Amino acid sequence: MATYFVGDVQGCYAELQQLLDLAQFNAQQDELWLTGDLVARGPQSLDVLRFVYSLGDRATTVLGNHDLNLLAVAAGHALPKKKDKTENILTAPDRHELIHWLQNRPIMAEHPTLPVMMTHAGLSPQWDLATARHCAREVETLLRSDQGTWLLGHMYGEEPSHWDPRLTGLPRWRYIINSFTRMRFCRNDGSLEFKCKESPADKPDQLAPWFEVRKADADEPHLVFGHWAALMGKCPLPKIKALDTGCVWGNQLTLWRWEDNAMFSLNCPVYSSGE
């Protein structure tokens, strides 16, 4: 049995299947972990959802910002965007089953036996691991409750950008969701900045990548994340794997195998011209 981690698929189903074949993924024996953003921008989001759902316990995916937006659209709290190419999900005969399954995915996942964890965008520099775990469980519980659709309609916004453990209610939940699904850069004080989506080499001086600001404990598990295509898989920290390599923008889809540290990449066509 092998454990595979793949970056943001964003509806690139054909490319995902080619990459899994390249890596000799065995759906009957192996595990597939996905960094979120299963849907949007690529042409086959419905096929991606159905495939990951069909893997059952063999697949673990976390919620990404595009996944949450699809849930908000399905709940009637946001309008579908033509560029997201998710209309056929909303009219599919198995729509309710897939949407229910997606809404019950974690926002942070930890492997039960291996020292590795996964989120879509990373971990806030203002959190230790215990806080991150607590915050993830808090929002996951809310999304799965009767208040879940309410939260999907009120999660949008960029404030607060700074963590305070005294935060309550919507400001607290919005910060948690933004940290796990939208974060890239931080200011010097650790607060989140959402406008800049460039690579670290092209950033303004007052910003730093979240992973350079966060002080991780030495015994923390390895962290796998996606979301940040401009990194093209480059992260200077040995225990952090950046796996979004911009497949939907015409770059690559990337897969990492835990057991032997093997990396697999597949060149992809351009499906979208911007975020």
Average pLDDT, the chain: 95
- Render pLDDT for 73-100 as a digit per residue (tens, 0 to 9): 999 999 988 899 999 999 999 999 999 9
Q: What is the pLDDT of residue 125?
A: 94
CATH number at 249 reads: 3.60.21.10
Residue 228 lies in a domain: yes
**% of the chain residues with pLDDT over 90:** 91
Residue 18 lies in a domain: yes
Over residues 226-247, mean pLDDT? 96
pLDDT at 273 over 90: no
Query: Which residues span the domain enclosing 196?
Result: 3-267
Q: What is the pLDDT of residue 194?
A: 92
Over residues 135-150, mean pLDDT? 97
Place of tokens 């910003």: 207
- Residue ranges of the alpha helices (H) in 155-192? 169-181
Q: What is the pLDDT of residue 274?
A: 58
With contact defined as beta carbons under 8 Å apart, do 176 and 139 qualify? yes
Over residues 226-236, mean pLDDT? 96
Number of domains in the chain: 1
Q: Interhelix angle for 65-74 vs 169-181, to 10°?
A: 130
